[in-house]
Amino acid sequence: MRAAVLETHGEPLEIEDVPEPEPAPDQAIVETEACGICRSDWHAWQGDWSWVGASVPEGQILGHEPAGIVSAVGENVETLQEGDRVAVPFHLGDGTCSHCREGRANNCETVVPLGLSGAAPGAFAEAFPVREADFNCVKLPDSVEFTEMAGLGCRFMTAYHALADRAELRPGDWVAVHGCGGVGLSAIHIADALGAHPIAVDVRDDKLERARELGASAAVNSTEVEHPARAVRSLADGGADVSIDALGIAETCRNSVASLGTRGTHVQVGLTTGEEEGEIELPVDAITMKELDVHGSHGMPLVRYQELFKLIGEGTLDPSKIIGETLSLEDVPNTLASMDDYETVGIPVITEF
Ligand SMILES: [Zn+2]
Ligand SMILES: [Zn+2]
């Protein structure tokens, strides 16, 4: 089968013929129908994350935002069968640790990130294996298209968990979203749909335009104002109730914290780059005196998918709105390279393998 393989960090991915995966006893094989291309793929390709012991090995098949059809199951798999339509979250849990038993595979003690670890070849391929398949595969409602589900394996669900669970967003809240890539645009749409007032912050007007289409009440081009956080505070009645760093560089993280009003909540969603190596200075005295909350947010507990499907089913949320262009597997190397300059708008999704 064909796959896009990271042979050398920083060099274009190579489209190769690789062996078809066979299911181990606990695994399902999923034929990929759609897979988003995410900034985490770009980080992996750059060789980032050595500072958290998570550098992605050369030889890796990337791809962690898939939806597809189960084509084979191992002998121990009980709840899935050939032909099932599934989404696969990027955090593959073991299904047995205390967090997994609460449905929180995103916090699993032995988590294996799909497409970002040698133990889990990814979905930039015609098919891919899923460990502990009964636990990790999420069956799709019939009404949901594969393409719109692609973001539900990573960015859309990440944004939902960050806002609904970690920030406990309430209707009427002002929400600053720093960085309007896939997760940022998802956050704009979700915040608007949940009755909050999102303010989009980015360096590119095309992304801010998309954010306005998705429901942003206001947009700040951070290259055109001296103090982006001050601009947000004046738009948000003195300060945002919730602010998200949806990128993960020092500037967006600090701007996010500085956008908050008293007792506001910062949620860190983006992982950092080789510039920061996981360390960013924050204004601790302001955090103390304004009683700010600082939260991390990673993926989404599997138990939250049912609520997400309900909101999609009733039309409150529409993940298809975040989809950018649809691509073929051959386009992956160039699309990844274009992310150096933040050129992609919305979530690019591979639909031809
Ligand atoms: Zn991702
Ligand atoms: Zn676990």
- Which ligand minimizes its atom distance to the CA of 347? 1
For residue 133, the surrounding DSSP H or E stretch is helix 133-136
Say if residue 285 is exposed, middle or buried (CB neighbours under 10 Å; 0-12, 13-18, 19+): exposed
> Can you list the residues of the chain whose pLDDT is less than 70?
none
- Which ligand minimizes its atom distance to the CA of 181? 1
Listed residues: CB within 5 A of ion ligand 1: 38, 40, 154
For 3-61, the pLDDT digits (tens) are 999 999 999 999 999 999 999 999 999 999 999 999 899 999 999 988 888 899 999 99
Ligand 2 center from residue 103 Cα (angstroms): 9
- The angle formed by the CA atoms of residues 343, 348 and 349, to the nearest 5 degrees, is 165
* Whole-number Å distance between alpha carbons of 55 and 31: 26
Ligand 1 center from residue 76 Cα (angstroms): 29
* Whole-number Å distance between alpha carbons of 125 and 67: 12
User: Max CA-CA distance within the chain?
Assistant: 61
* Whole-number Å distance between alpha carbons of 90 and 224: 36
Q: Across all residues in the chain, what is the average pLDDT?
A: 95
pTM of the model: 0.95
* Contact criterion met (CB below 8 Å) for 133 and 28: yes
pLDDT number for residue 151: 73
- Which ligand minimizes its atom distance to the CA of 64? 1
pLDDT number for residue 214: 97
pLDDT number for residue 344: 82
Q: How many of the other CB atoms lie within 10 Å of CB of 280?
A: 18
* Whole-number Å distance between alpha carbons of 168 and 155: 18
